[in-house]
Amino acid sequence: MECIINRRAQFSASHRYWLPELSEAENSQQFGLGSRFPGHGHNYVLFVSLVGELDEYGMVQNLSEVKKVIKREVTSQLDSAYLNQTWPEFQQTLPTTENIARVIWHRLIPHLPIVRIQLFEHPELWADYQGNGMEAHLTISTHFSAAHRLAHPDLSYEENSEIYGKCARPNGHGHNYHLEVTVTGEIDPRTGMIVDLGALHQVVEDYVVEPFDHTFLNKDIPYFSQVVPTAENIAIHIRQLLQQPIQELGAQLYKVKLVESPNNSCEVYCSQATSSSALTQESQALVTSV
């Protein structure tokens, strides 16, 4: 029986976004506060995912041995280090979250059957790498607070109450929504970035957080005048809002995850292909309730 197991590790390190071929003004314009001398630091959290058949002892890998490999090959070298000068890979391509994840993969793959590296720079920014050349995923998270009412406009109050229960009450109710936006693309071989992180944050702020925050979705967002603002429909609409602006940044929207409450969340996936005539899209929604 094949299983995937995950091992967590952590290290603290600093880095700086700075290209010597650019002037100080150009570095500041491209990387913002990240270009400041002598750099800045993070408490990185690393998840290493391994795949394999269970052995006679009921294990994919002996986690004690996995821990030793990760420490020897990665964390002992990166902990309390200045990343730009630690590994030669970061001389050519800056140590962004997504590029660190990529390089860690290549450091570990000779020793472990890894299928994914996930690296958290902080709780609201992380990268996933699965061995696909320079392609990686980058996720940012944010939040907004909004109210909604679950009621189909063509149904009576009694019929809506039968379907949606308390959520159909006329005055609605509110949530602190947690939003995760995942983009995918090629890591730039010099900057180490899939996308300009500041620009990505601004797109999410402009198209979602600012318009949605502290609103009654049914009344304040035109899309929901005829569409019931379930978590699924909200996530789908956010996908529609973000897809083109993110593409204009040079990346592709991969996933929108919306957490309505600790018990309910929704994920909407996107796959995109651009042709000369149209943008085709396949999507899949996953709803989780606990």
Active site amino acids: 167, 214, 260
The pLDDT, as a whole number, for residue 232 is: 97
CATH number of the CATH domain containing 272: 3.30.479.10
Same domain as 283, residue 167: yes
Same domain as 111, residue 186: no
Quick one: the chain helix, strand, coil %, rounded to 5? Answer: 35, 35, 30
The pLDDT, as a whole number, for residue 278 is: 32
Spatial contact of 208 and 261, defined as CB atoms under 8 Å apart? no
Same domain as 270, residue 141: yes
Same domain as 261, residue 272: yes
The pLDDT, as a whole number, for residue 274 is: 33
Indicate the pTM of the whole model: 0.92
Structure tokens at 202: 């601004």
- How far, CA to CA in Å, does 248 sit from each of 137, 201, 204, 211, 245? 17, 14, 13, 20, 5
Same domain as 119, residue 56: yes
User: How many structural domains compose the chain?
Assistant: 2
Mean pLDDT by 10 residues, the chain (290 residues): 95 98 96 96 98 94 97 98 98 97 98 98 98 98 98 96 97 97 98 97 98 98 96 98 98 98 96 37 46
Same domain as 272, residue 255: yes
**CA 272 to chain CA centroid, nearest Å:** 17
Grouping H, G, I as helix, E, B as strand and the rest as coil, residue 232 is helix
Q: Which domain holds residue 43?
A: 1-132
Same domain as 168, residue 289: yes
